[in-house]
């Protein structure tokens, strides 16, 4: 199957939410035949099926090519977010917004990242809340 045909088929599978078919088709190709677009597509599909470590590895393998691509940064930020690496995810998402100011999806994910970073900070100060470390909470409030 030619690349154009494969991309058209992938688009159809994506519309039908047949993510495993996309994964199977791309992983059936020899790695040497997977270009930037197919690698990023595979990483995106791995994110959809919660295979975040594999998505991260793939995205990092094409990081150089993705330097000017806001979609690469978005998918990388999403992957990092899903791996609970919020500070790194924030940096990547800020790059998306530098490249595409006002992108609503990027702004929404950035807001989610900030919430998680705030939660992490609160947990460092107060514990995880189960049960609340009263001494730490009082020390924070009083100092």
pTM, entire model: 0.84
**Tokens standing for residue 143:** 């100092």
- The residues, ordered by sequence, that sit 6+ positions from 37 with a Cβ below 8 Å of its Cβ are 7
Q: Which residues contact 95 (CB under 8 A, 6 or more apart)?
A: 70, 73, 77
pLDDT in tens, the chain (143 residues): 788 999 999 999 999 999 999 999 999 999 999 999 999 999 999 999 999 999 999 999 999 999 999 999 999 999 999 999 999 999 999 999 999 999 999 999 999 999 999 988 888 877 765 666 667 766 777 77
Residue 134: Cβ within 10 Å count: 10
| Structure token digits, residue 95 | 């790059």
SS3 120: helix
């Amino acid at each position: 199957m030619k690349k154009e045909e494969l991309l058209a088929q992938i688009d159809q599978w994506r519309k039908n939410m047949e993510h495993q078919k996309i994964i199977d088709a791309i992983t059936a190709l020899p790695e040497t035949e997977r270009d930037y677009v197919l690698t990023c597509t595979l990483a995106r599909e791995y994110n959809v099926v919660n295979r975040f470590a594999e998505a991260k590895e793939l995205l990092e393998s094409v990081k150089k090519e993705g330097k000017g691509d806001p979609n690469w940064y978005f998918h990388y930020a999403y992957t990092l977010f899903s791996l609970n690496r919020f500070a790194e995810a924030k940096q990547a998402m800020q790059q998306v917004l530098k490249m595409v100011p006002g992108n609503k999806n990027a702004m929404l994910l950035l807001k989610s990242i900030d919430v998680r970073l705030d939660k992490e900070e609160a947990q460092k100060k107060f514990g995880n809340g189960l049960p609340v470390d009263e001494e730490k909470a009082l020390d924070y409030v009083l100092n």
